[in-house]
Amino acid sequence: MTLSRRQFIQTLGISTAGLLLPTLNGSLLAKEPYAATDTFIVPPLDYGQRNGNHVTFNLNLQRGKSHILPGFTTPTLGINSNYLGPVLRAKRGDTVSINVQNNIGEESTLHWHGFTLPATMDGGPHQRIANGSTWNAKFQIRQPASTLWYHSHEFHKTGEQVYKGMAGLFYVDDETSDQLAIPSDYGIDDLPVVIQDRAFTADGEFRYASMMPEKMHGMHGDTILVNGVITPTLQARKTLLRLRLLNGSNARIYNLGFNDNRSFYHIAGDCSFLASPVSMNRLILAPGERAEVLVDVSDRKRITLKSYKGAIKSSGSGMMGMMMGRMGFDREFDIMQIDARQAETSPYAIPRSLIRPIRLNPNEAVRTRPMEMSMGMMGMGGMGMMGGMMRGRRGGNGGGGFTINGQSMDINRIDFSVQRNTSEIWEVSNTSPLPHPFHVHNTQFQILGRNGKAAKAHESGLNDTVLVNPNEVVRILVPFRYYSDSKRPYMYHCHNLEHEDQGMMGQFTVV
């Protein structure tokens, strides 16, 4: 008896999946979300202590107990708080001095995601903060108004520490953003929306990447938190809302939209405003990415912000598709409700334009650099993958598992250096079957195109993270300005935090 090619692939697919999914029968990972609990919470806003252009922030990394599930307490991490941190806020031109005191009982770091800054202030895996000690980060803000964020970047433990709550937003204002006729009343019509998915154990603790597939795909939870609250309801105070969305999840990619399919207006990406609002009704947001959107609720309805299926474009192999579907990596969720029945009329309308278009010049690039993300042992099935991942975890450079340009992260290896005051074109490709959000420190880049096609209008501003789907090549123009250091590196990595922790990361210096 001979097997047809298709039967053979099916058999192979099932047995390989069997290796990967020993404990999985569809029930554990694809649980129904916990029910919505509460009202929308606005995190505290922290302007620091200002002295002219010098602003000092005091942050305490702490352990806490949070009430997330009704009737349970969840041990969490937070910054000046039980879970997550305050929204820090400063202006372009300010010199910020941030004291970070670590009291979580283990080593940590705090990284300023999206900032251009000296390498020693970056808060990456080299700026370790021992338990009980304080680290000071001081740098001048030299970039446009944007919604940035900060989070733990502890080597091999970023995923776990961020998952438990070590993250917060950082708003940068500038002269232009101060002039825009858009909602800007914090907590009233200008709202931070940190979206995260979490899984819980039976006794209400966060359950973190305890299973093999969660290490490979990254940790996906079954319950959505917004600013630490399960699928909350926002009582809209105004009829035009500005939502500053952060995908603060470890691995989940969202396909956001409203249940009545209304349009919303994309006004800012990761690191800048767009030239003009882009109307859309679905937005893919990958881990690490931010988007500011305006939502018109002048019809005073109750609406639901949802995430729809279709967030993940896998390479179409039967096994991956099956795993994703069964395991809930690509599924529909309610994110939050907006109840606009009591909203007052907003003084603002959707603006026609926002800022002067930002155009970095690709002709100024001094070179083109390939960046190939791959999961080397994938093709060999589960056991090979496991071997590769174990090498990645030890931080070796065995070439298996999660790699960029064939190398797994080694904290003692600088992968390359770039010249200060130049820019480069990076050709970011993905030869693995899973999507990877690619992030670079110390820069705000421009997306030139995907697979030869121009970037989409809503990604035309400055960004620090870009989603690269299987078989895609994304060209980005990456400038290196202001700061150089021949020894201390910056990171580039996949912002799926489990992939990052298992080695899909590299280091470069700016000289």
416 forms bridges with which residues in the sheet?
508
452: which residues sit within 8 A by CB, 6+ positions away? Answer: none
Minimum CB distance to ligand C2O smaller for 276 or for 442:
442
CA–CA distance, 432 with 373 (Å, rounded to integer): 7
- In the set 89, 111, 126, 220, which binds ligand C2O (CB under 6 A)? 111
Cβ atoms of 362 and 397 closer than 8 Å: no
- In the set 489, 499, 506, 508, which binds Cu ion (CB under 5 A)? 499
- List the x/- string, 240-279, binding to ligand C2O by CB under 6 A: ----------------------------------------
Residues 346-405 that bind ligand C2O (CB under 6 A): none
* Integer CA distances (angstroms), 388 to 163, 341, 377, 379, 382, in order: 24, 54, 6, 11, 10
Task: Determine whether 12 is exposed, middle or buried from the number of CB atoms within 10 Å of its CB (0-12, 13-18, 19+).
Answer: middle
- In the set 80, 496, 502, 507, which binds Cu ion (CB under 5 A)? 496
- In the set 249, 493, 508, 510, which binds ligand C2O (CB under 6 A)? 493
Task: Determine whether 350 is exposed, middle or buried from the number of CB atoms within 10 Å of its CB (0-12, 13-18, 19+).
Answer: middle
CA–CA distance, 207 with 250 (Å, rounded to integer): 13
257: which residues sit within 8 A by CB, 6+ positions away? Answer: 281, 282, 283, 305, 306, 307, 308
The separation between the first and the last C-alpha atoms of the chain, rounded to the nearest angstrom, is 64
Question: Which span (200-208, 381-389, 416-424, 489-497) binds ligand C2O, by CB under 6 A?
Answer: 489-497
Q: What angle, 0 to 180 degrees and rounded to 10, lies between the N-to-C axes of helices 382-393 and 5-20? A: 40
Closest approach of Cβ 319 to Cu ion, in Å? Answer: 18
Closest approach of Cβ 259 to Cu ion, in Å? Answer: 30
> Closest residue to ligand C2O, Cβ-based?
113
Minimum CB distance to Cu ion smaller for 444 or for 496:
496
Q: What is the DSSP letter of 206?
A: B
The binder of 244, among ligand C2O, Cu ion, none, by C-beta within 5 to 8 A per type, is none
Q: What is the DSSP letter of 345?
A: P
* Interaction between residue 220 and ligand C2O (CB under 6 A): no
- Which among 491, 302, 314 is positioned nearest to 410, based on CA atoms? 491
- Which among 269, 274, 281 is positioned nearest to 244, based on CA atoms? 269
CA–CA distance, 342 with 239 (Å, rounded to integer): 9
Closest approach of Cβ 465 to ligand C2O, in Å? Answer: 7
- List the x/- string, 440-459, binding to ligand C2O by CB under 6 A: -x------------------
The binder of 153, among ligand C2O, Cu ion, none, by C-beta within 5 to 8 A per type, is ligand C2O
* Interaction between residue 288 and ligand C2O (CB under 6 A): yes
* Interaction between residue 488 and Cu ion (CB under 5 A): no
Minimum CB distance to ligand C2O smaller for 200 or for 508:
508
Greatest distance between any 2 Cα atoms in the chain? 82
Q: How many residues bind ligand C2O (CB under 6 A)?
A: 10
CA–CA distance, 493 with 403 (Å, rounded to integer): 9
* Interaction between residue 238 and ligand C2O (CB under 6 A): no
* 412-439 residues labelled b (16+ CB within 10 A) or e (exposed): eeebebbeeeebbbbebbbbbbbbbbbb
Question: Which span (224-232, 426-434, 450-458, 487-495) binds ligand C2O, by CB under 6 A?
Answer: 487-495
The binder of 238, among Cu ion, ligand C2O, none, by C-beta within 5 to 8 A per type, is none
Task: Determine whether 454 is exposed, middle or buried from the number of CB atoms within 10 Å of its CB (0-12, 13-18, 19+).
Answer: exposed
- List the x/- string, 151-180, binding to ligand C2O by CB under 6 A: x-x---------------------------
Closest approach of Cβ 504 to Cu ion, in Å? Answer: 5
Minimum CB distance to Cu ion smaller for 346 or for 496:
496
- List the x/- string, 426-465, binding to Cu ion by CB under 5 A: ----------x----x------------------------
* Interaction between residue 494 and Cu ion (CB under 5 A): yes
* Interaction between residue 216 and ligand C2O (CB under 6 A): no
Minimum CB distance to Cu ion smaller for 43 or for 125:
125
Q: Token digits for 445?
A: 């880049």
Question: Which span (76-84, 99-107, 163-171, 490-498) binds Cu ion, by CB under 5 A?
Answer: 490-498
The binder of 126, among Cu ion, ligand C2O, none, by C-beta within 5 to 8 A per type, is none
Q: How far is CA 499 from the centre of its chain?
A: 13
Helix (H) or strand (E) holding 170: strand 167-173
Residue 380 main-chain phi, psi, to 5 deg: -90, 5
Q: Token digits for 301?
A: 């309805």
* Interaction between residue 113 and Cu ion (CB under 5 A): yes
65: which residues sit within 8 A by CB, 6+ positions away? Answer: 73, 74, 75, 76, 82
Residues 78-97 that bind ligand C2O (CB under 6 A): none
* Interaction between residue 491 and ligand C2O (CB under 6 A): yes
In the numeric block, the tokens 């096994």 are attached to: 319
Minimum CB distance to Cu ion smaller for 82 or for 469:
469
* Interaction between residue 113 and ligand C2O (CB under 6 A): yes
Closest approach of Cβ 380 to Cu ion, in Å? Answer: 18
Per CB under 6 A, residues contacting ligand C2O are 111, 113, 151, 153, 288, 439, 441, 491, 493, 495
- Contact residues toward Cu ion (CB under 5 A) are 113, 436, 441, 494, 496, 499
